[in-house]
Chains A and B, each alone.
Chain A
Amino acid sequence: MTAQVSTIADTRSESSPRSAPRVLLYAVLILFAIYYLLPLFIMVVNSVKPLSEIQGGNMLSLPAQWTLEPWQKAWNEAQIGVQATGLQPYFLNSILMVVPAVAISTILGALNGYVLTKYRFPGHKIVFGLMLFACFIPFQIVLIPTARILGTLGIAGTIYGLILVHVVYGLGFTTLYFRNYYEAFPTELVRAAQVDGASFFKIFYRILLPSSGPIIVVTVIWQFTNVWNDFLFGASFSGPNAMPITVALNNLVNSSTGVKEYNVHFAGALLAALPTLIVYIVAGRFFVRGLMSGAVKG
């Protein structure tokens, strides 16, 4: 009892003496860190091993013989569907899909957020509510009509189709982010500029945009991660030529006939993970902010 009281006192003060509970605390935290890192460790170690070493057992051991061949195979030799192209073309597809989808949905989200907070009109709350609900629908409910409309527009099975879909279904979140951010932006500044005769776009460009840096980063990272990692839309609408990397990876891992090249699968998985992982390492703070405001505020 007394020991427990003293631990609280310790933890709430700056200095932390080496008491037994504190050692235990760190031990538990380190165990959890190992647990979270384990799958990443497995992927990395086994992507630089010859296949025979994996088949021989012990996925946790370091390679006896290091090799980059699985990476090279995953990148430009592995059989994806009927073609032995590796993941390279699909990686490119994902980039061609992500860049415009993120840019367009972010710009639209910023403008929507600006209108919804600074030019309130009757029913603005309903409009926002409808946009918000759209963030949470299970996409299965729109899959069939979307496939149809992409066909009607003549962009079924193309990257353009995927860009359109990701822009439309990303709008709810991008609007939410900018709307919550601009809500706190002083409306008086906008009104003052209006009195001075500044136009709608000039106010946006000169007054709101310069202070929107953080929320732009949050939104871009959120959209980038979501669009890059998407599988459902990619699997439903991409066709053989526009496949994003997630779909190609799944084909590589799950439909490979003959010998299962686990090391190539792991290398491929890491290739697909690399862009979002790098973004997370560089700007994880903003990613977490996006996650939190997506969850906590509606």
Chain B
Amino acid sequence: MSVAAITSHTTSTEPPRTRRGFEDWLPRLVLAPSFAALLVFVYGFILFTIYLSTTSSTLLPVFDFIGFGAYSRLFAIPNWTVALKNLAIFGSLYIILCSVMGLFLAILIDQKIRAEGLLRPIFLYPMALSFIVTGTAWKWFLDPGIGLEQTMHALGWTSFTFNWIKDSQMAIYTIVIAAVWQSSGFIMAMFLAGLRGIDSEIMKAAQIDGASTVQTYRRIVIPQLRPAFLSAFVVLAHLAIKSFDLIIAMTNGGPGRATEMPSTFMYSYTFTRNQMNIGAASAVIMLMMISSIIVPYLYTELRGEKK
């Protein structure tokens, strides 16, 4: 099993030493370019961005050091506060609604229904589409001038109004609607995989003991889905922090800057407002948010693998 045992065995027979030596190093040589690329493009660039956040860079990078003032300036910018507030609203609703809908649909699908092979792909196809595509559909469908509101009027319900996407108080919720639509099927698939892993004997036993459907699910099935809940949370939380395309497509951060999120804030401060150090600082905050979720999760996953 161990590499050392095998190589010492083969070197003692025929192949010349030099070739053997090269063969020993070959695997690492093959891995090296990818690893080097990641070290530079991911970890080197992270450090570079952290460094930029401590400089006075505006339009172009300036290589000086002015301390961590960019961070206190960042948190004094009203747009950034709006972005964090929106992320909190969007993130919590997105996680809760996707989990609830995903679990509900997974339980329904798991009732040995006919046409599962037809329904499951229908619930999941939005994940294959670009957010720019689905954002376009939702943008015009929720537009009061031509979309849902007009349609209701045409159908005779003339008092119907739905103008959230134009309302700075409510616009963030339209992003929630579209995002939940796009991701809930994926969460359903995760829960369904969890449900399929549960021993059906346990459920049968519970039913024989007189437990109702609701009781069986609440007391026996759902507690066993804890790993699926954890995975769903991690996936949804990191998607929420990263979400960018959908906002650009649906509202472009508007009306005003009412649907600003950290991702769009970073983009506009860096590339259009030319405040590179502020942009870099906001990216660092985003990385910290994601790391606080991903690192503990990956750590436990990788450690668990050892056993």
Contact = CB atoms under 8 A, between A and B. Distances in A.
B137 A115 contact: no
A64 interface: no
B241 A134 contact: no
Task: Give chain B's interface residue range (CB within 8 Å of chain A).
Answer: 35 or more
A92 interface: no
Nearest to A16: B112
Interface in A101-127: 108, 111-112, 114-116, 118-121, 125, 127
Contact of B125 (A141, A148, A280): A280
Given A4-B212, A148-B61, A262 B263 contact: no
SS of B interface (majority):
helix
B263 A284 contact: no
B94 to A, nearest CB: 15
Contact of A28 (B108, B141, B244, B301): B108
A36 interface: yes
B90 interface: no
A55 B190 contact: no
A141 to B, nearest CB: 5
A29 interface: yes
B287 A115 contact: no
A58 B155 contact: yes
B136 A291 contact: no
Interface string B119-133: 101111111111111
B283 A141 contact: yes
The 6 closest A-B pairs by CB, nearest first: A119-B27, A229-B130, A58-B154, A280-B128, A57-B154, A57-B150
Interface of B: 1, 3, 6, 9-10, 14-15, 23, 26-28, 30-31, 33-35, 37-39, 41-46, 48-49, 52, 61, 105, 108-109, 111-114, 119, 121-134, 136-141, 146-148, 150-151, 153-155, 181, 185-186, 189-190, 193, 200, 203-204, 207, 210, 212-214, 216, 231, 234-235, 238, 241-242, 244-245, 248-249, 252, 262-263, 266-267, 270-271, 276, 279-280, 282-284, 286-287, 290, 294-295, 297-298, 301-302
